[in-house]
Amino acid sequence: MTEQASAQQVVRDHLAKIHEQPQVPAAERVELRDKIKRLLKERNAVLVAHYYTDPEIQALAEETGGCVSDSLEMARFGRDHPASTLVVAGVKFMGETAKILSPEKQVFMPTLEATCSLDIGCPIEEFSAFCDQHPDRTVVVYANTSAAVKARADWVVTSSIALDVVDHLDSEGQKILWAPDKHLGDYVRRETGADVLLWDGACIVHEEFKAQGILDLKKVYPDAAVLVHPESPASVVAIADMVGSTTQIINAARDLPNKQMIIATDQGIFYKLQQLVPDKEFIIAPTAGSGATCRSCANCPWMAMNALDNLAYVLEHGGNEVHVDPALGVQAMKPLTRMLDFAAAKPKS
């Protein structure tokens, strides 16, 4: 089985498991939430969550002075927060990024099993050999990668800053080696006109969005704006009214005049969308081809592994601490810091 096919099987297995799993009863959920709040305080810990995690985890992060955001802001927030312990609800690369940027802090995750198809599809040995074949290129890697891949890079970027960084490098005449997301890399290449050589990786969630399905949906909602995450295929990006990171999608949903929005990213974002823009209607973009049994399967199976019970468990008992090889961490901190410094210097739009 190829990496991509096996990653797709993980999604199918995981979605099947979610449907099978009995829901934790409401009373137990209240107890878990109270316990998490108490333990965060006792442990001088702060909860840093991504928009794709369970809405109850996002709410807890907000209520306890943590943060809910895209991956760029998660990195910045974790680095700059004075708490001695970070609890990162998201996927592995987010926990590793937090540890690399704050080696002196303890970083925990509800589960260390939550990875990402982009990270899986970019093993360090092959990636390093690819870089060695192209020594004339500046190596730009997406944040959705291992610590070892970051350590091999000149720049790390997230989807919210990728265009600006590559535009800047292009203006200096630099040629780019981009990894791992081919869709985001191709989008960056088209938008900036830079010379970008692509690694062949993809997000198993965003790759499934279907342009034809969105066009069919537009017949039902002709006034809806189409908001797309750039990990989606070019055919989907081509029909978007706006393309951007999760935070940029939320801002566009607030700022665009349309009353209805078709959203091509993980459904976890609907919690924040509905909270911040309650007067608008959000419709998930279809992922299903003809004959499929689910209309949209836009749920990252790894993000969904973060739950109230495993979050409470790590706070109570420890375990699931994120460790990064210190030598790799020192190397990986350089391109990550370069990204955060670049973002901080960028005029606010």
**Residue 245 found at the interface with ligand 13P (CB under 6 A):** yes
Annotated binding site: 50, 71, 116, 142-144, 159, 203, 229-231, 246, 300
- What is the C-alpha to C-alpha distance for residues 207 and 280, in angstroms, rounded to an integer? 26
Answer whether the bond into residue 180 is a cis peptide, omega within 30°.
yes
Q: Using the rule CB under 6 A, which residue among 146, 158, 192, 320 binds ligand 13P?
A: 158
- What is the C-alpha to C-alpha distance for residues 269 and 284, in angstroms, rounded to an integer? 10
- What is the C-alpha to C-alpha distance for residues 269 and 126, in angstroms, rounded to an integer? 33
Task: Return the one option of ligand 13P, ligand SF4, none that residue 149 interacts with (CB less than 5 to 8 A, by type).
Answer: none
Annotated binding site for iminosuccinate: 50, 71, 142-144, 159, 229-231, 246
Task: Return the one option of ligand SF4, ligand 13P, none that residue 228 interacts with (CB less than 5 to 8 A, by type).
Answer: none
DSSP code, position 290: T
Place of tokens 């990894």: 179
**Total residues interacting with ligand SF4, rule: CB under 6 A:** 14
Hey, what are 337's tokens?
């810091």
Q: Using the rule CB under 6 A, which residue among 53, 97, 111, 144 binds ligand 13P?
A: 144
Interaction mask 290-329, ligand SF4, x per CB under 6 A: ----------x-xx--------------------------
Q: Using the rule CB under 6 A, which residue among 102, 145, 246, 296 binds ligand 13P?
A: 246
Between the two ends of the chain, the Cα-to-Cα distance in Å is 45
Place of tokens 């995690």: 53
The DSSP H or E segment spanning 3 is: helix 3-20
**Residue 96 found at the interface with ligand SF4 (CB under 6 A):** no
- What is the C-alpha to C-alpha distance for residues 189 and 187, in angstroms, rounded to an integer? 5
Task: Return the one option of ligand 13P, ligand SF4, none that residue 237 interacts with (CB less than 5 to 8 A, by type).
Answer: none
C-beta closer to ligand SF4: residue 60 or 300: 300
Q: What does each C-alpha distance from 299 to 93, 152, 310 come to in angstroms?
A: 18, 30, 19
Which parts of this chain interact with ligand SF4 (CB under 6 A)? 91, 116-118, 144, 203-206, 231, 266, 300, 302-303
